[in-house]
Amino acid sequence: MKAVVYNEYGLSDVLTLKELNQPLPKDNEVLIKVHAVSINDWDWGLLRGKPFVNRMMAGIIKPRKNKVLGSDIAGTIVAVGKSITRYKTGDEVFGDLSAAGFGGFAEYVCAPCQSLTLKPKTMSFEQAAAIPQAGVLALQAVQDKRPNKKSLNVLINGAGGGSGSFAIQIAKSFGDEVTAVDCESKFELMRSLGADHVIDYQKEDFTQNGQTYDLIIDMMGFHSIFDYKRSLNKSGRYVMVGGCSSLIFQTLFIGSLFSLFGTKKLAILPHEPNKNIADLLVLIKNGLMKISIDKCFALTEVQQAMKYFGERKSKGKVIITIK
């Protein structure tokens, strides 16, 4: 089978298309013919080895072995392990494989049942692949970390990307007032998804304008933890989904102290892969959330796709389509 691998940290040019042996499912796994896979920040971070925590997981100097990135897949089951009763050959499924070793940038991948959900017939493979990690992170940040108020004044930093585009819509489904922060080229998308206010981070620093929020969801954390604390209302929450190494350590240690001794809570979001995907499907079915796909690339174009993703210009999700 064809797969895209990387053997060293770097930019998109270290990715190589290779011929690998098709994997065989274990007793508790299924083999999936991948039709679509989306690119997430975790793919970009693992490829670059940044922030440093990614090297702690994958290898300090270089990846420990040939790595195939891609966690959010959608495809058709072509074989099942001996212990599988939940799925059968021919089922169309999707899911986040980050807890199962990634592997989605390939024609075939094995996955345990707990990482998968049946794909609705009305949804394309590209749409399904866009949902799992980005959608679940957004749902966790908005739904699970809400202060105890009916509706909130929410700011989403990095709102024009994959997870941010979901977070805007989920927050609006709760009746929240949403301020979306990203570059000006994404304003039209963010407004179309329901953002009440938009800020161009290249022209305005939202942590310095005097506005405060009940909930700050940070997809692209590069400010100081003290800046975020200042931008929270009393009893407000700051949720870090992604960002630089320095902010990770600040949030872990200083943020924990703020949370312990004050009314403002600042913490990193602990991702729980595939949690409450059914809730996301209900939002989509009821017309409360749509899937924003910017561009689709072929498997042979993964280098270009990753470069495009890394430039932070994508409006919504970037998808790899595999024929």
Handedness of CA 152, 156, 159, 164 (dihedral sign): negative
Handedness of CA 257, 261, 262, 264 (dihedral sign): positive
Tell me whether residue 105 is in a domain: yes
Alpha carbon distance 21, 3 (integer Å): 9
| 92-147 pLDDT tens trace | 999 999 999 999 999 999 999 999 999 999 999 999 999 999 999 999 999 988 88
Query: Is residue 262 helix, strand or coil?
Result: coil
CATH of the domain at 212: 3.40.50.720
| 57-91 pLDDT tens trace | 788 899 887 699 999 999 999 999 999 999 999 99
39 shares a domain with 105: yes
**What domain count does the chain have?**
2
81 shares a domain with 29: yes
Q: pLDDT category, 150, cuts 50, 70, 90?
A: confident
305 shares a domain with 256: no
CATH of the domain at 90: 3.90.180.10
CA 102, 99, 270 angle in degrees (round to 5)?
125
Tell me whether residue 278 is in a domain: no
> Do 216 and 207 touch, CB atoms closer than 8 A?
no
179 shares a domain with 98: no
Alpha-carbon Rg of the chain, whole angstroms?
Answer: 19
| 240-274 pLDDT tens trace | 999 888 888 999 999 999 999 999 999 999 999 99
The separation between the first and the last C-alpha atoms of the chain, rounded to the nearest angstrom, is 12
Alpha carbon distance 45, 90 (integer Å): 33
pLDDT confidence of residue 66: 67
The one-letter code for the residue type at 208 is: Q
Alpha carbon distance 38, 241 (integer Å): 18
| 275-316 pLDDT tens trace | 999 999 999 999 999 999 999 999 999 999 999 999 988 999
Alpha carbon distance 56, 307 (integer Å): 24
36 shares a domain with 140: no
- DSSP secondary structure code for residue 253 in this structure: I
Which pair of structure tokens corresponds to residue 83?
């212990």
- Domain final residue, candidates 268, 283, 300: 268
> Do 151 and 157 touch, CB atoms closer than 8 A?
no
| Position 4 pLDDT exceeds 80 | yes
Tell me whether residue 284 is in a domain: no
Average pLDDT over the chain, rounded to an integer:
94
What mean pLDDT is predicted for residues 153-166?
A: 96
pLDDT confidence of residue 227: 96
| Nearest Cα to Cα of residue 173 among 159, 187, 194, 156 | 194
189 shares a domain with 65: no
User: For every residue of 84-98, which 3-state class applies, written as one string?
Assistant: CCCCCCCCEEEEECH
165 shares a domain with 241: yes
Tell me whether residue 232 is in a domain: yes
225 shares a domain with 144: yes
pLDDT confidence of residue 319: 98
Tell me whether residue 182 is in a domain: yes
**Range(s) of the domain holding residue 105:** 2-131+291-321
220 shares a domain with 207: yes
- DSSP secondary structure code for residue 106 in this structure: B
pLDDT confidence of residue 312: 87
Count of CA atoms in the C-beta half-sphere (13 A) of 41 = 22
Alpha carbon distance 32, 53 (integer Å): 30
Tell me whether residue 81 is in a domain: yes
pLDDT confidence of residue 295: 96
124 shares a domain with 145: no
Alpha carbon distance 167, 217 (integer Å): 8
pLDDT confidence of residue 323: 85
264 shares a domain with 138: yes
| Position 317 pLDDT exceeds 90 | yes
Asked, as a colleague might, if the bond just before 147 is cis with ω within 30 of 0, I would say no
Tell me whether residue 32 is in a domain: yes
250 shares a domain with 144: yes
- DSSP secondary structure code for residue 209 in this structure: S
Tell me whether residue 280 is in a domain: no
- Dihedral angle of Cα 249, 251, 252, 257, to the nearest 10 degrees: 130
pLDDT confidence of residue 52: 84
Alpha carbon distance 47, 11 (integer Å): 7
Alpha carbon distance 185, 164 (integer Å): 15
Q: What are phi and psi of 15, to 5 degrees?
A: -80, 135
| 191-225 pLDDT tens trace | 999 999 999 999 999 999 999 999 999 998 889 99
Alpha carbon distance 315, 293 (integer Å): 7
